[in-house]
Amino acid sequence: MRYKVKCVCDSFNPRKCLSFPLFLHTVRTAEPLEYHRSYLKENCRHDGRELSEFRTTTLNIGSISTADGSALVKLGNTTVICGIKAELANPTVEAPGKGYIVPNVDLPPLCSSRFRPGPPGEQAQAASQFIADVIESSEVIQTEDLCIDRGKLCWVLYCDLMCLDYDGNLLDACIIALLAALKNTKLPEVTINTETCSPEVNLEKRRELHVHKHPVGASFCIFDNSILIVDPMSEEESLCTAHLTVVTDEEERLCAVHKPGGTSLSGEKLQECITRAATRQREIQKLIDKVINSVKAAQ
């Protein structure tokens, strides 16, 4: 760390500065872009990470006992909690053999000063839609599995994702939280009473949800139209010129390549991102499996 700070000093000529910490702070608030650039020039980032390095990812599952499945994910400072509640509903006429998955991402004013109270803003809405798309594209859960009685009764999985601390890279954290929470979800047993035609639920007897695929995302930022960095923090996100999120599953199939505009990217650069995303997928799947198994072992 000390060495990296030195690099910055050289480019800024610190001798003219009175006090070193004050100098750094001023540069960061007055010229945030220059501040970041000076680090990127040295192939590192202001928090000491490499360009293609993720922050520490911590996963905690089953922490909310009122939810049917839950997970808390920390990606550096970014914290996302996912709670899954299952409810019963009638399937639609168009898809009588399918259940529902309803994911929603919320960015409450609690998680950062940039979000205001009230209905979800554009970022939260876009994130909700992205998560919904990932669920559909990756087939992480097949909605057929949620059917209880064809045309009559099915499960609705309300996947409520809430950000508790916003420090960039919301989408990656959301996908991990969702996946871990789904793997943690246990649905109660339902039988249809043949006489009254009404469902009976045995809350004690629960079975696990079948998770078909393990999609994991990796988000990138493009700085100055050329430099790719992985897992951006919120400061980096607001300064960069483009965002990219690649979601892959365990078979190295792509479930989403989401780039909502920004500066252009060549196919070659995109390939680099996909490679990094594949590595990340293995890393996270291993983490989730290990944590899930640790809970099972403890029981």
Partner 1 sequence: MKDTPLSNCERDFLLKAIEEKKRLDGRQTYDYRKMKITFGTDFGCCFVDLGKTRVMAQVSSELVTPKESRPNEGIMFFNIELSPMASPAFEQGRQSELSVKLNRQLERCLRNSKCIDTESLCVVSGEKVWQIRVDVHMLNHDGNLMDAASIAAITALCHFRRPDVGIQGDEVTVFSPEERDPIPLSIYHMPISVSFAFFQQGTYLLVDPCEREERVMDGLLMIAMNKHREICSIQSSGGIMLLKEQVMRCSKIASIKVSEITELISKALENDKKARKAGERCGFAESMPQERITALKMDETPVEMTDVTEKANDIVHNADAPPQMVPSPVVPIPGVGQVGQGVQSTWGLEEDDEGEEEENDNSGEEQDEKVTRMEEEKLESREGDVVEISDSEEEEVVILNPEKVSKNTGYTSHHKGAAATQKRKRK
Partner 2 sequence: MEVYGSSGVSLREFGCEQSLLSRPDGSASFIQGDTSVLAGVYGPAEVKVSKEIYDRATLEVLMQPKVGLPSVRERSQEQCVRETCEASLLLSLHPRSSLTLILQVLHDDGSLLSCSLNAACMALMDAGLPMSCLFCGVTCAIDTEGRIITDPTAAQEKESRALMTFAIDSKEHRVLMSATKGSFSVNELQQCIAVSQSASEKIFQFYRDSVRRRYSKTL
Partner 3 sequence: MPTDTKRVRGPEVSQSPSLFSCKPAAVLPPHGPRADGRQRDQVDVRPVFVRCGLVSQAKGSAYIEAGNTKLMSCVYGPRETERKDETDMKCGRLTTDMRFAPFSCPERGSWIQGSQDKDLSLMLHESLQPAVCLHKYPRSQIEVNVMVLENSGSVLAHAVTCASLALADAGIEMYDLVLGCSIRQDGSSHVVDPTYMEENSCGSVSSENQGGLTVAFLPSLNQISGLQSDGEMTEETLTAGVRTCIEGCYKLYPVIQQALAKAVRRAAAPPSES
Closest CA to 154 of 211, 68, 88, 218: 88
Nearer residue to partner 2 within complex by CB, 129 or 279: 129
Classified as helix, coil or strand, 205 is strand
Spacing of C-alpha 118 from chain mean position: 23
Q: Is 224 helix (H, G, I), strand (E, B) or coil?
A: coil
Is residue 92 helix, strand or coil?
coil
CA angle 234, 129, 227 (to 5 degrees): 35
Among 8, 61, 181, 209, binds partner 1 (CB under 8 A): 61
Q: Which of 9, 17, 27, 126 binds partner 2 (CB under 8 A)?
A: 126
Q: Is 266 in the site for partner 2 (CB under 8 A)?
A: yes
- 188-217 binders of partner 3 (CB under 8 A): 188, 190, 198-204
The distance of closest approach from Cβ of residue 142 to partner 1 in the complex, given in angstroms and rounded to an integer, is: 25
CA distances from 77 to 81, 266, 283 (A): 13, 31, 19
Q: Give me the helix-helix angle, 20-30 and 32-41, nearest 10°.
A: 110
Q: Which does 263 bind (CB under 5 to 8 A by kind): partner 1, partner 3, partner 2, none?
A: partner 2
Contact in structure between 281 and 274 (CB atoms under 8 Å): no
φ and ψ at residue 220, rounded to 5 degrees: -130, 160
Question: Which residues are at the interface with partner 3 (CB under 8 A)?
Answer: 1-2, 5, 20-21, 63-67, 70, 77, 79, 81, 83-90, 92, 100, 102-104, 106, 108-113, 117, 119-120, 125, 128-129, 132, 156, 158, 160, 162, 164-167, 188, 190, 198-204, 234
Question: Which residues are at the interface with partner 1 (CB under 8 A)?
Answer: 47-49, 53-65, 72, 74, 76-77, 79, 93, 165, 267-268, 271-272, 274-276, 278-279, 282-284, 286-288, 290-291, 294-295, 297-299
Question: Which residues are at the interface with partner 2 (CB under 8 A)?
Answer: 122, 125-126, 128-130, 132-133, 136-139, 241-242, 244, 249, 252-267, 270-271, 274
